[in-house]
Amino acid sequence: MTADSVGGVWTFALQLASELGRRGVEVTLLVMGGKPSADQAAEAGALKNVSLLGTDFRLEWMSEPEADLQLSGELLLELEAEQRPDIVHLNGYGHAALPFSAPVLVTAHSDVSSWWHACRRTPLPVEWSLYEERVRAGVEAADMVVAPTAAYFREFGSHHGAPRAHRIIANGRDPAAFAGAAKRAMALGAGRLWDEAKNIGTLRKAAEGISWPILIAGETTSPDGSTLATPANVVCLGRLPSQDIAARMAEAAVFASPARYEPFGLAILEAALSGCALVLGDIPTLRELWDDAALFVDPDDADALRDTMEALLFDPERAELLGQSARRRARRYSAARMVEAYLDLYRTLAEARPHRFRPTLPLRASA
């Protein structure tokens, strides 16, 4: 299995690998985009079924990735030849076009083309043409493409074409890792302050004039070294370890994510499992997942976001009821359900090429 060390793909891969381990599946996890942090390495090290390989290879959406994509592709083929996995599970696109022997499953988490359409609302610049060619080639070559929501799959396909086969499998988290506590009259958001997709800028604007504290977990310094001003009632927590974010979610009455682009939203799921009332951007993917279990606002309407958050913080009973509704919905998106869906898919793909595998061995995934 492949993963990167930044953002939700890491969380997805570790959660899936953990659940696979409980079912006797071994996972080799090749991480690109930067070596895992000490916390991440410790998290992976606690999983006895996971062999972690961390690299600094650039990801396909990064600047000038061609040489690194060549090297990481060679490494993937060497690993497959050495370990003979039953499945190659890629959490990226271009490597799916490599001549693997095992069936190749691609999980589509995000892509530049749909991100640009949602956030910039202009055609993707020509300098991204090679990226789009790599993604399309991977989609055409993959035996199966999985997306976490039907809405995102449709958007993804409109940019990169239809795969030969696909399934919708919602991401999942272990409910045991998240527990509600006595709620405080405060709202929590998560994302880098400059992130156009998470749209934390609108949350910062909406915080102006609210009487309650607004906490934001995420990096505060942009890649160019600049920082953004925030209202006095906004507390920037910086990048937090997963257990610290869970602790903040446990006590926050409201979780706000006015996203312009969110193919799934693991932080939203975690907040729901923690009993937070959800205030979300009104986009198709989040409607698909949380309709009737959250309040929705136009991602560009800071006034509507402010009014919605303030109304919930002023009325804790209503916030509690909405948090209970979110928690009930979140139970649909459990890690156990996710792994059972992936295991079924792994078996289906492996059985389609039974001559390539040794049936006497336990199922193994090279991911």
Q: Tokens for 4?
A: 């990167």
Per-residue model confidence (pLDDT) at position 360: 34
Residues 211-227, buried b or exposed e (16+ Cβ, 10 A)? ebbbbbbbeeeeeeeee
Angle CA 257–259–264, to nearest 5: 90
Q: Selecting from 1.10.357.10, 3.40.50.1820, 2.130.10.10, 3.40.50.2000, what CATH number does the domain 175-332 have?
A: 3.40.50.2000
Q: Tokens for 345?
A: 């898919």
Which of 314, 315, 323, 317 minimizes the C-alpha distance to 271?
323
pLDDT 10s digits, 257-291? 999 999 999 999 999 999 999 999 999 999 999 99
Which of 270, 272, 366, 250 minimizes the C-alpha distance to 326?
272
The reported pTM is: 0.93
pLDDT at 333 over 90: yes
Looking at the chain, the domain(s) classified CATH 3.40.50.2000 span 2-172+336-366, 175-332
State in words which class domain 2-172+336-366 has: alpha beta
Per-residue model confidence (pLDDT) at position 224: 56
Per-residue model confidence (pLDDT) at position 222: 63
Kindly list the distances between the CA atom of residue 349 and the CA atoms of 62, 98, 145, 353, 357, in Å, as whole numbers in the listed order. 31, 17, 12, 7, 11
Q: What's the whole-number mean pLDDT along residues 80-94?
A: 96
Q: What's the whole-number mean pLDDT along residues 224-228?
A: 63
Q: State the pLDDT confidence band at 226, using cuts at 50, 70 and 90.
A: low
Per-residue model confidence (pLDDT) at position 254: 98
Q: How many residues does the chain have?
A: 367
